[in-house]
Structure 1
Amino acid sequence: MVNKPNLRTVNVMRYVTPLREGGSMPAIAEADDEFLYVLKFRGAGQGTKALIAELIGGEIARKLGLKMPELVFANLDEAFGRTEADEEIQDLLKFSTGLNLALHYLSGAITFDPAVNVLDEELASTIVWMDALLMNMDRTAKNTNMLMWHKELWLIDHGAALYFHHSWTNWKEQALSPFLLIKDHVLLKQVTQINDIDKKAKELLTNSFLESVVSLIPDEWLTDTFFETPQEFRNAYLEFLNTRINHSSNFIKAIENARTTAI
């Protein structure tokens, strides 16, 4: 039986502070469960595509045994931004009415520093395998999108993954791509167990599990015109992921070649 992911829905009650490091202007916000979250807005530059990538990437990471802050759907009422003084933030809130995505805020976490924090090679191999699967270009030395919290590594921000869905025009070809940008991955030199990880990951990322993940994507996030119905989009995401996993040798070869060059 597949252990299906299930996301809670919270209501955003208070905008605390913007996080201006990224271009999408996420923010720390408080929800009606009294927890703080890093809120990713549907009205930001990459729109709901970034939220979809975050959702799929986060749940796959969790399935692979990697630490991810809890993801929740975050509902934003249309009246929420009216009292916000900053016009840029007010516009962002106005265009983000409805369901957004949020991650539990890891208070006190510090950015992963590859010069200080040395990871176990199995962990590093798992992260690189996953990022090659998802075509995540955003785990470089400049921007690791990893945090150290209570002496453990946590992954954040998969919004730049699955970039084929910004146009959809060649998504079937992209599913077979070796993903050459893996050469810039911050953990590349520590990848020594990629074939073992490939075998383990394939046992975990079954079609049933992946189907349960894409089924979480809300209809209101699937409004592009490339397909006619939300379910057609979900089917395409599922086909992309299955194809990529079934042909993982394409990106494993790219990882091995990049690692040889880096060393």
Structure 2
Amino acid sequence: MHIYAKIAKNEVEHTFDEIKTAMIASTKDGMSATDNLYDWSKSFLHHIQKFNSVPFSSRDIDDLQLPSNIYVKELNQILNSNLEGIKNETIEHFKNTTVNNVKWREDPYNKIIECLWGCTECCPFCHEPCQYSDKEHVIQGNIHKCIQHRPLGLYGFMNEENNMIMLNSCNRLVRSPDEHLRHKHEYISEKCRTYYQSLFNGWEIRPFVDGNECQYWKYIMCRWKDQLQQFYGANTNDIDDEEWKSITVEDVVRSLNEIYICS
């Protein structure tokens, strides 16, 4: 038996065991009213939904045409006598399915690529990509968020008063509502909090907590300090911070591992 069939066999057997368990529990629930098929079916739905493996819904029960001349005991006997055969037929179907004859409901390769590529939205300030792999995550109630945010200076933000390149990330920015910024030659007259609320609608950006900031972008800004100054026309003297200059490649790799692998 090939691996595809083995996995399917385990899943099918597990599902049918849950169906039998739900049937037994439903019959016990209705011991005082064993002839009421509708109550039994409602109880069965309640128990099977606990397992979350078979997509039964109340609509399935409502649409079910139950015969008036059959009792719960007889229904259980009919179901039990047929379940084993249905299970074996299902397993046999997967046994006979190969790479040459499998029929997909949708192209799995495109699905995998979409999942790996993930959400294409980026932070409106620092342009760090959203961390979610599911493009539909917003519809499911999960707003955009990033594993980390980049220092704003990487995208050209600088202090409005002295053109000093911004070293803070968005996580620090949300804690500084009175800070004014300038992006390249476009002035932002609104206070940061107002700007945050208008641009970051639909984004979760948690305030910075000491000790959880990635070393990677600090290392990059130090390494490319002159290029940042030339490209944006910003004052980059603050990048000469001794702490930033002391960051090594080993520090960067360790920091990235802690954020992307261990978190």
TM class by smaller structure: under 0.3
When normalised by structure 2's length, the TM-score is: 0.19
Instruction: Name which one, 1 or 2, has greater alpha-carbon Rg.
Output: 2
Structure whose residues are more often strand by fraction: 1
When normalised by structure 1's length, the TM-score is: 0.19
